[in-house]
Chains A and B, each alone.
Chain A
Amino acid sequence: MVSAVHLEPLEMYLQTVRDHLQLLSPEDSSEIIRELRSHVLDRVRGDLSNATVSATLTRLGDPREIARINLRMRVAAVVVAHPTPLTVARTLSRLAAIGGKGFLIFILSLTGYAFAGCWLLTALAKPFAPDRVGLWLLPDPTGDLSLSLGRHGAGAAGVDILGWWIIPIGLMVGAICAFLTYRIDLRFIQGLAGSQSTGARSTV
């Protein structure tokens, strides 16, 4: 009975961690909770007094931070083991949900892939609509010129500045852009996975 009372701080701590692990599968979340509970019980060595349990939890760190580190690294670890474009994209979308830098990189990644997609689609569509698809130089009412990539309205003013060259150039630019976006995403996620030692302290 005494131990149940004194383990209340531990259960509250673990519940806070669990609450912040909702992006993980129930199995992964349970595993983390089990690891932490086992660790605390090892650390207190049978001394379940309130002071010892609380001191151990304080030493373990803020439960929200513990959840965040576990979540980030569990998600990132999958990419380190299997760095395919699909796992990178999936992981990044999960990291975006955690917020912070992950969200920013996710937005940048979306922009990169959208840009790559525009070039690739334009290049692929060119043979099917040669007069309406391309990179267009368009005069606007103020007298300035603007560039437009993709489908052009029938009869609208504008010059297709690349012509058939849009096919090799579009494929190349799109592929390079998609590859660079993938590499940047991968590097970011690998950086997260490699930051496991965020608690490594110098003892000098």
Chain B
Amino acid sequence: MYRVMSVSDDPLEVDLGKWEIQLRKGSLSLAVLASLRNGELYGLEILRRLEQIANFTVAEGTIYPLLNRLKTAGFIESDWVEAEAGHPRKYFRLTVGGRRYLIGLSRTWHEFARGMNQLLAPLEPRVRGKRRAS
């Protein structure tokens, strides 16, 4: 189901690709909740925001099941609105609980990222050099 754009036979590259997919998969809920931080959005707007800001490309048909899961969990709510476009749109927004959850996730993310950045800082130039070379 997952596809990595850069196809490689190198097992190391394949492994790195899988790892990145798992990383993205694990942070998709956080990304979706964060995209709703400043107000309500409809499905396609969420997809575009994820793609433009976070470089997340989500298969279009899977965004609504995820939104439904977040809604069932009480983190977001939605309303159908008659849009200017001539058809109704379903707008999603954070609930109070969802905003609290997002803050908690964000704190955990930053703490984790800070530690990992510190740990990986000495490796950064070498990784870049290697990627450029490949």
Binding site for B on A (CB under 8 A): 32, 34-39, 41-43, 45-46, 59-61, 65-66, 69-70, 72-74, 76-78, 80-81, 193, 195-204
12 residue pairs of the A-B complex, CB under 8 angstroms, read A36-B61, A42-B43, A42-B85, A45-B85, A77-B73, A80-B69, A81-B74, A197-B28, A198-B59, A200-B56, A201-B5, A202-B3
Given A39-B60, A70-B68, 17 more A-B residue pairs with CB atoms under 8 Å apart are A34-B80, A36-B64, A41-B87, A42-B42, A42-B87, A43-B60, A69-B62, A74-B68, A77-B68, A77-B73, A197-B28, A200-B21, A200-B28, A200-B56, A201-B5, A202-B21, A203-B55
Q: Chain A contacts of B66 at CB under 8 A?
A: 73, 196-197
Binding site for A on B (CB under 8 A): 1-6, 17, 20-21, 24-25, 28-29, 42-44, 55-62, 64-66, 68-69, 72-74, 80, 85-90
Q: Chain A contacts of B5 at CB under 8 A?
A: 201-204
Are B62 and A198 in contact, CB atoms less than 8 angstroms apart?
A: yes
Q: Chain B contacts of A197 at CB under 8 A?
A: 24-25, 28, 58, 62, 66
Q: Nearest-CB distance from B12 to chain A (Å)?
A: 14
Q: Nearest-CB distance from B83 to chain A (Å)?
A: 8
Given A70-B64, A73-B69, A201:B59 Cβ within 8 A: yes
Residue of chain B at shortest CB distance from A76: B69
Q: Which of B42, B59, B74 has the most CB of A within 10 A?
A: B59
